[in-house]
Structure 1
């Protein structure tokens, strides 16, 4: 009896893993095709857009750039100067000092000639107490607003910035990121060209600044990072932005816009209540909540993605820091999917409920669990003497070469569209990383994600500490949790 039951269970599990593996291959082949079509379309559009006209247009939407800052004293002055030099006429920069314990606010006051103002604003979204709002006496810094508030975390700081912002769109960024000078005008394109649907959010391409040459707040020379983990993340960002998000944007099924750089319709953000401070995945959760609102109101809308690398960020190059980041990303994904689980396989929410949500649940959230079960299943077969080495090896080789092919396509897309990595030997380093990743890095990523699952079950929260090397190769520390 038990033997028959065991045989049935192993057969069912074997069929599940087989179908799951082939489903992954088919789905990502479709995603690669769609992303290629979307990338080609965006490249064609860029050829016919004169962004110089957009820079000075009086009818373009106005933008509030919101940048939360916590203990960023070592670089905040340079970063703010960079934000104030962006090429667009109708924007303001709002720096939210979220209870920093260093000299961030003093440096801002000194370098930008700031003075406290009786700044009138309506606190539509509840936040930690705002202690002061500063404006500059220097006309050169008229676009700058600095908010000094008690610590409440990144989402709370962004909500404070939303309350104070006075423009039509809000652009949420990490203060230590580097933006391209024309990043605003390029991100506005979807808002300007869409006529039949309301564009509620736009995500931008993110580049990795590790080991690159930075001059006057701009990346002037691309190089791949020296470490294997750094190079892996270059490939990963290619896959995420040039494959995944381009394809989902084409299908209008995008659930995530990177917290490092995203534009949102302010009116809608206020309607849905702003960022949710009780999740570590506030960027994804806001996008899902905005989409849910539009679906429930039966309003035509679009969440778009601009593939151009418009923002550069530093990525972790040590396992300790990278593991905390991936742990947090997984917990944020689980929290968002749990909060909005009513959308799962619900026809009321159209493509999002029937396609996007199930994809994220099965192939993003549960992928580490399924891979772990697959490993356990293989061990059981070996112990029971029912293991087929030929079957296992064939499936392993198939999945390995498919992963390599997928990553290779992402490199090809970057070369065709942007060709940023022109340093001698960079392409060879990336290809070598592609060959190593499935064997040496992917298992670690999955284990860190499994830890995220376990910490979510145990109710462990927080962002963790992140140590940054800095764009000028000087050590700086930044707590990702803004003090929480």
Structure 2
């Protein structure tokens, strides 16, 4: 084959790849639109008032791992303590923070050292002190640093209730979020875990641990991430949940049955993708046991989080996320294409392997081959147009569709100016931002192959400073 023939073949292969990727995503969007429409109609008869005072709603332990979270921890804990739910406790795990996380929590919530014992059902780093409050239903577990997974396991050991809700320390929950995420587990014993939507708080007004005014950010980088989060959660996870092939519940906001997590050994400490790995392991266990239990996503129990506002911090985050994805897929590679694992093995795993794991490399090779083909005059205008539509045009349509889905069904952004701004960013992200993410994720493959297990510092500015 000549060089020209090879370049042409690569371009046609990449074109088919983009068509397959975006075609699959369009199918997920169609499924998601139906599911979210049904969810919005059911909300009219939600019965949340009755659930909020019900004696039958199982008690929940909120597990909050914290490492150097002094910027946001007070606002987050206040939002947790003010949740509308019959019975719950807040368990904060200080994972060897080097800042004033412990001091601030003790000062703001009147925490005192306690002799409360922890049942060590999972292996963790040593616990130094347990603090409790005389006025609030919370405890603070101060332990030696062992990483996020280790902190979560310590929190699970300290939890006293049958349901656990794992939440990032930089998250603010809406008042009824716990009711909404718990409802599938209250209504059915066949639900093993539930994920809720995570939204971007940058730009929003936060008062007393509550998001009081939902707005976009005056800065570009957080707005690009708003579009990403809408696309990933509203379209992606809603669709995967409907197909019973959900492989990830965000570590920022997910609910599990405590006994199930303990039974499978808790979170793994030797991966940076502990949230996806646990969910994939639960899916594997459920199908090996021929269980009818499902792992589901609910599109509107909202958790608000501060996203990176600098390229340096965002790059670290995306590098870690991709290494976590690769680690999980490698660890559970035996599930790939196995009918015994149902839609997880036949749809979920193949999608994440061929479109998410190696996708960044294929995308970057595609751009290079396309530019080379144009430069050498190998590609005609018809192919160039088809390639642009498949690689960029469909991506724009998908991003705009995510914004429209938000406006038509959930309507969190009440200003037309915010919707216009998000629509503009849905277009602009395809011209530079998306390619930069692909580059970071491609480099993450190299760092993964070098066995890099580092977390990377996630610097916080704090909710009270949004503007950012």
Q: TM-score, normalised by structure 1?
A: 0.92
The one of 129, 153, 172 equivalent to 2:166 is 172
- Give the CA deviation at 1:400: 2.3
In the alignment, the residues of structure 2 paired with residue 401 and residue 377 of structure 1 have an alpha-carbon distance, to the nearest angstrom, of 18
- Give the CA deviation at 1:69: 1.2
Q: Which residue of 2 aligns with 1:337?
A: 329
Instruction: Indicate how the Cα distance of structure 1 residues 166 and 30 shifts in structure 2: closer, same or farther if over 3 A, else same.
Output: same
- Give the CA deviation at 1:424: 4.7
Task: Choose 253-262 or 387-396, whichever is displaced more.
Answer: 387-396
- Give the CA deviation at 1:109: 2.7
Question: For 2:103, what is the secondary structure of its paired residue?
Answer: helix
1:356 aligns with 2:348: yes
Instruction: Indicate how the Cα distance of structure 1 residues 77 and 382 shifts in structure 2: closer, same or farther if over 3 A, else same.
Output: closer
Q: Which residue of 1 aligns with 2:23?
A: 26
Contact 2:132 2:139 in 1 (8 A): yes
Task: Choose 167-176 or 420-429, whichever is displaced more.
Answer: 420-429
Q: Which residue of 2 aligns with 1:162?
A: 156
- Give the CA deviation at 1:175: 1.4
The one of 443, 448, 463 equivalent to 1:451 is 443
In the alignment, the residues of structure 2 paired with residue 231 and residue 225 of structure 1 have an alpha-carbon distance, to the nearest angstrom, of 6
Question: For 1:400, what is the secondary structure of its paired residue?
Answer: helix
Contact 1:201 1:262 in 2 (8 A): yes
Q: Which residue of 1 aligns with 2:127?
A: 130
Report how many aligned residue pairs link the two structures: 468
- Give the CA deviation at 1:469: 2.2
Contact 2:79 2:174 in 1 (8 A): no
Q: Which residue of 2 aligns with 1:481?
A: none
In the alignment, the residues of structure 2 paired with residue 79 and residue 386 of structure 1 have an alpha-carbon distance, to the nearest angstrom, of 56
- Give the CA deviation at 1:11: 5.6
Q: Which residue of 1 aligns with 2:206?
A: 214
Q: Which residue of 2 aligns with 1:152?
A: 146
Contact 1:69 1:95 in 2 (8 A): yes
Contact 2:180 2:301 in 1 (8 A): no
Q: Which residue of 1 aligns with 2:279?
A: 287
Deviation per CA, 1:251-270: give whole Å up to 9, x if none.
11111111111101111101
Question: For 2:459, what is the secondary structure of its paired residue?
Answer: strand
Deviation per CA, 1:166-223: give whole Å up to 9, x if none.
111110011121111111111111112335xx21110101111111111221111111
Task: Choose 83-92 or 288-297, whichever is displaced more.
Answer: 83-92
Q: Which residue of 2 aligns with 1:89?
A: 86
Q: Which residue of 1 aligns with 2:421?
A: 429
Q: Which residue of 1 aligns with 2:96?
A: 99
The one of 231, 243, 250 equivalent to 2:242 is 250
In the alignment, the residues of structure 2 paired with residue 80 and residue 21 of structure 1 have an alpha-carbon distance, to the nearest angstrom, of 43
1:300 aligns with 2:300: no
- Give the CA deviation at 1:306: 1.2
Task: Choose 273-282 or 13-22, whichever is displaced more.
Answer: 13-22
Contact 2:181 2:255 in 1 (8 A): yes
In the alignment, the residues of structure 2 paired with residue 164 and residue 231 of structure 1 have an alpha-carbon distance, to the nearest angstrom, of 38
Structure 1 gap ranges (5+): 477-484
The one of 225, 238, 244 equivalent to 2:230 is 238
In the alignment, the residues of structure 1 paired with residue 302 and residue 26 of structure 2 have an alpha-carbon distance, to the nearest angstrom, of 27
In the alignment, the residues of structure 2 paired with residue 288 and residue 123 of structure 1 have an alpha-carbon distance, to the nearest angstrom, of 24
Q: Which residue of 2 aligns with 1:278?
A: 270
Matches within 5 A, 1:4-153: 9-10=6-7, 12-136=9-133, 138=134, 140-141=135-136, 143-153=137-147
In the alignment, the residues of structure 2 paired with residue 296 and residue 75 of structure 1 have an alpha-carbon distance, to the nearest angstrom, of 41
Deviation per CA, 1:351-396: give whole Å up to 9, x if none.
1111100001111111101112213433554576533343123321
In the alignment, the residues of structure 2 paired with residue 14 and residue 474 of structure 1 have an alpha-carbon distance, to the nearest angstrom, of 44
Matches within 5 A, 1:407-418: 407-418=399-410
Question: For 1:467, what is the secondary structure of its paired residue?
Answer: coil
Q: TM-score, normalised by structure 2?
A: 0.95
Contact 1:469 1:475 in 2 (8 A): no
Deviation per CA, 1:288-343: give whole Å up to 9, x if none.
01111111111111111111151100111211111111111111100110111111
Q: CA RMSD in A?
A: 1.9
1:225 aligns with 2:217: yes
Instruction: Indicate how the Cα distance of structure 1 residues 457 and 426 shifts in structure 2: closer, same or farther if over 3 A, else same.
Output: same
Question: For 2:129, what is the secondary structure of its paired residue?
Answer: strand
Question: For 1:447, what is the secondary structure of its paired residue?
Answer: helix
- Give the CA deviation at 1:401: 2.2
- Give the CA deviation at 1:97: 0.9
Deviation per CA, 1:80-99: give whole Å up to 9, x if none.
23211111121111010111
Q: Which residue of 2 aligns with 1:480?
A: none
Q: Which residue of 2 aligns with 1:479?
A: none
Contact 2:74 2:105 in 1 (8 A): yes
Question: For 1:425, what is the secondary structure of its paired residue?
Answer: helix
